Amino acid sequence: MARKKITSLLGDDPVYSKQFGDKPKPAEPASKPDPVQDAKPAPAPATDPTPTAEKQAPTTKPVAKPASTATKARSETKPSAKPRAPKKPETRAVHVRAAPKKDHGPGLDALEAAGLPASDVVRLAGKRAIDKFELKSKYVAPDDAERLPSNMSFRTMKTLNAQVLDKLRDQADPLRLRSDAAVIQGQLEPVFWSELTSLIKELRKQYS
């Protein structure tokens, strides 16, 4: 005997389900469409207040100076060496003396009578002569003129070139028996006599 085919039930039958105590499932509500949100404008990118030039300064490489220019600049900035002072010649102190000639006697006596001591006149003339005197390397022999006594002589200390003095001694005193004053006497006395003659004339005009 052929079996009767049972019809399959699909879906939920509320009447059928009620017989078995099943509660019908509530129908699922239809899905609501998502609320449309107002489109917001995309935020503007933040701007840096610092200017672009300040933010990133262009890097430039220093231009190297030519070697010749750099060398010239160093030579110009380098202080020039001071020239060395010439070496001073060696000197020697000499006790010089010079006596008035006999021809100066009358003029000195006249000044003495006018109140001017002859020794002071001789001293002043000697001072002027020493200021003008320049020692030469050629020896000059003393003059044979007559001189006044030694107590009327002018005496002082004079610093002279030692090398020139030695040359004069080589010429006039190779055995080194005479003094330096005797070696230069022939150069100094004419200067002293000239100054004394001029001074006597000058003072006699003032005190005559």
pLDDT in tens, 117-136: 999 999 999 999 999 999 99
Q: What is the CATH number of the domain that holds 122?
A: 1.10.1220
For the stretch 152-173, pLDDT in tens is 999 999 999 999 999 999 999 9
C-alpha span between 44 and 80 (Å, rounded): 67
C-alpha span between 118 and 87 (Å, rounded): 42
| Residue 55, pLDDT above cutoff 60 | no
Q: Which of 123, 80, 77 is nearest to 99 (CA)?
A: 123
C-alpha span between 94 and 139 (Å, rounded): 16
Residue 17 falls inside a structural domain: no
Residue 173 falls inside a structural domain: yes
| Residue 113, pLDDT above cutoff 60 | yes
Residue 12 falls inside a structural domain: no
C-alpha span between 203 and 108 (Å, rounded): 10
Q: Which pLDDT score is estimated for 67?
A: 52
Residue 43 falls inside a structural domain: no
Residue 197 falls inside a structural domain: yes
Confirm whether pTM is higher than 0.75. Answer: no
Residue-number span of the structural domain to which 147 is assigned: 91-207
Residue 103 falls inside a structural domain: yes
SS3 156: strand
Q: Which of 106, 152, 85, 157 is nearest to 127 (CA)?
A: 157
* Domain tally, the chain: 1
**Mean pLDDT for the stretch of residues 84-101:** 90
| Residue 182, pLDDT above cutoff 90 | yes
Please give, one letter per residue, the 3-state secondary structure of 73-130: HHHHHCCCCCCCCCCCCCEEEEEEEECCEHHHHHHHHHHHHCCCCHHHHHHHHHHHHH
User: Which residues, 6 or more positions from 104, have their beta carbon under 8 angstroms from its beta carbon?
Assistant: 148, 193, 196, 197, 200
Residue 46 falls inside a structural domain: no
User: Which residues, 6 or more positions from 9, have their beta carbon under 8 angstroms from its beta carbon?
Assistant: 16
